[in-house]
């Protein structure tokens, strides 16, 4: 389960699950490049994780929706790390918009980050992992890709697309020993708190968000460091070497126990 010497890129590293993943990987001994749009918080998270060690952490700016930006940042990381063993890719955005009046602008904004960003980061990671003999790509899907989240229709649709993409890429890149899985989390993060605050009580009780009241294991949403971190270590490690193309709920039972 240890990640000593593993060379890893983490997107969306400035907060939430990306930040927790950076801390957990550094604690497991990995050499990490943390990347985000939010440079101030991204650099702060990376510096704190590097200080705690024993792994190393560097920070780089990236816009995952922009091919040139992803290519440049990943190339710089790989040059410095000497290769790439794993990509953890939580970077995404969430937006309230219902099916009746979602606009093309809203639709394209969320698709460009969540779907195009997943395709670009995965494709470029695969290019770097192949010559290293393989690797592990960890995407982020959602229960919202399996069930409707009507108050965030575009976001919900993007997560369904991430699930399909994950299975396509896993099928194609298995021959290169590159594994591709998606975590379907339920964690208390800034994204969760903002989305929950934007939703009326009425909508929350009729929508799948009701799960927050029925989630098993005695807590509302998980803690990204305690409840997700160890799973992220498992998927970046060789212990998960025979798992690919899977959608893995890390949700306290939210998806299946309700
Ligand atoms: N929080 C939950 O319970 C939950 C549930 C289901 C799925 N998810 C998914 O889990 C993942 C992580 O979510 P979170 O709650 O930690 O989110 P978050 O909003 O707290 O953090 C997302 C990070 O991504 C970064 N980011 C956004 N756009 C970017 C871009 N274009 N390029 C680079 N970085 C960018 C943000 O700056 C931020 O630091 C997301 O894919 C989300 O859709 C979260």
Point out the least confidently predicted range of 2-11, 109-118, 170-179, 218-227.
Answer: 218-227
Question: Is the CB of residue 10 below 6 angstroms from any atom belonging to ligand 1?
Answer: no
pLDDT at 209: 55
CA of 13 relative to ligand 1 center, distance in Å: 9
Burial grade of 77 (CB within 10 A; 0-12, 13-18, 19 or more): buried
Which residues of the chain form beta strands (DSSP E)?
7-11, 31-36, 56-61, 86-89, 135-140, 178-185, 247-250
What pLDDT, in 10s, does the model give residues 59-102?
999 999 999 999 999 999 999 999 999 999 999 999 989 999 99
Is 70 a pocket residue for ligand 1 (Cβ < 6 Å)? Answer: no
134 Cβ inside 6 Å of ligand 1: no
For position 214, what pLDDT does the model report? 54
In the reported structure, the alpha carbon of residue 240 is separated from the centroid of ligand 1 by a whole-number distance in angstroms of: 24
Q: Does residue 15 line the site of ligand 1, with CB under 6 A?
A: yes
Catalytic residue IDs? 155
The residue whose C-alpha atom lies closest to atom 19 belonging to ligand 1 is 191
Sheet holding 247-250, edge to edge: 56-61, 31-36, 7-11, 86-89, 135-140, 178-185, 247-250
Q: How confident is the model at residue 120 (pLDDT cuts 50, 70, 90)?
A: very high
Q: How far apart are CA 118 and CA 96, in angstroms?
A: 20
**Domain extents in the chain:** 7-246
Identify any residues that bridge with 87 across adjacent strands, giving them in sequence order: 9, 137
- How far is ligand 1, taken at its centre, from the CA of residue 209, in Å? 18
Mean pLDDT of 111-127: 99
Q: What CATH superfamily classification does 7-246 receive? A: NAD(P)-binding Rossmann-like Domain (3.40.50.720)
The string of DSSP letters for 8-33 reads EEEESTTSHHHHHHHHHHHHTT-EEE
């Amino acid at each position: 389960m240890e990640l000593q010497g593993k060379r890893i890129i983490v997107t969306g590293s400035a907060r939430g699950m990306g930040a927790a993943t950076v801390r957990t990987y550094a604690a497991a001994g990995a050499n990490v490049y943390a990347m985000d749009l939010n440079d101030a918080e991204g650099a702060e998270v990376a510096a704190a994780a590097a200080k705690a060690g024993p792994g190393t952490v560097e920070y780089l700016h990236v816009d995952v929706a922009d091919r040139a930006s992803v290519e440049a940042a990943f190339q710089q990381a790989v040059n410095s790390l000497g290769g790439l063993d794993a990509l953890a890719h939580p970077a995404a955005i969430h937006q309230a918009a219902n099916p009746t009046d979602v606009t093309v602008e809203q639709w394209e904004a969320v698709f460009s980050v969540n779907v195009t960003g997943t395709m670009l980061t995965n494709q470029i990671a695969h290019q770097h992992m192949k010559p290293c003999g393989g690797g592990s790509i960890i995407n982020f899907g959602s229960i919202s890709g399996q069930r409707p989240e009507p108050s965030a229709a575009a976001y919900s649709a993007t997560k369904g697309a991430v699930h399909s993409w994950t299975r396509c890429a896993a099928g194609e890149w298995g021959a290169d020993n590159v594994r591709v899985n998606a975590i379907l989390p339920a964690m208390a993060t800034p994204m969760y708190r903002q989305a929950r605050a934007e939703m009326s009580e009425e909508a929350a009780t009729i929508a799948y968000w009701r799960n927050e009241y029925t989630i098993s294991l005695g807590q509302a949403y998980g803690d990204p460091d305690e409840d997700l971190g160890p799973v992220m270590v498992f998927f970046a490690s060789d212990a998960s070497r025979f798992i690919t193309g899977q959608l893995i709920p890390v949700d306290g039972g939210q998806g299946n126990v309700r």
